[in-house]
Amino acid sequence: MASDPDGELVARVGAGDRAAARLLVARHVDKLLALARRMLGDGAEAEDAVQDTFLKLWTHAARWQPGGAKFETWLFRVAINACYDRLRKRGTVSLDEAPESPDPGLSPERVLQNVELSKSIQAALDALPPRQRVAILLCHYEGRGNADAAEILGIGVEAVESLLSRGRRALRASLGHLRED
């Protein structure tokens, strides 16, 4: 098994090294925030979930054992669980996600179409069962391979492929009305 690129930093965090913690945060925060935003549909709540994830890193780093799963895999699993916890507490998923900043070259009509399309896609993702949604997010939005997603989710590759297949099928059915003839 290849060496874990985060292994030394995690060990240093476990010994109380704040600089190592800052390096790990800098290395992983953007990926975790992107995933949490997609799962939760709310930037502030995503930031809270990622903050909870890094607090767990700080409090559990001394117990992390190298040689098993990569540290990044563990970190993604913690972040996903933090998002699941927030979704359970909330009961429903918010669909009030505003677009980032519109392209200045787009017409107002096209911007509105893009906003509506984004809302439709987010609503379809939100309607998926949580495990299907996370599999889709990891593989399609985060660019993770099936084996990596399986390790993060703690399931087999075949189970990830099944989740992806069912998720894609549900998305096609939910978003079929958007296809242009």
Q: Are residues 114 and 147 in the same domain?
A: yes
Count of other CB atoms within 10 angstroms of residue 74: 21
Q: Are residues 35 and 63 in the same domain?
A: yes
DSSP 8-state code for residue 91: S
Q: Are residues 37 and 75 in the same domain?
A: yes
Domain count, the chain: 2
pTM: 0.62
Class of residue 149 by CB neighbours under 10 A (exposed 0-12, middle 13-18, buried 19+): buried
Last residue of a domain, one of 94, 118, 133: 94
Q: Are residues 136 and 163 in the same domain?
A: yes
Q: Are residues 13 and 86 in the same domain?
A: yes
With a CB cutoff of 8 Å and minimum separation 6, the contacts of 89 are none
Count of other CB atoms within 10 angstroms of residue 106: 12
Three-class SS state of 102: coil
Q: Are residues 9 and 51 in the same domain?
A: yes
DSSP 8-state code for residue 61: G
Q: Are residues 143 and 161 in the same domain?
A: yes
Q: Are residues 88 and 105 in the same domain?
A: no
Q: Are residues 112 and 172 in the same domain?
A: yes
Please calculate the CA angle 34-168-75 and round it to the nearest 5 degrees.
30
pLDDT in tens, the chain (181 residues): 457 788 888 888 888 888 988 998 999 999 999 889 888 888 899 999 999 998 888 888 777 777 667 888 888 888 988 988 888 887 654 445 444 554 455 566 666 666 677 778 888 888 999 899 989 988 888 888 899 889 888 899 999 999 999 999 998 898 888 775 3
Last residue of a domain, one of 59, 78, 94: 94
CATH code, 49: 1.10.1740.10
Q: How far, in Å, CA of 162 to CA of 35, rounded?
A: 21
Residues of the domain holding 63: 1-94
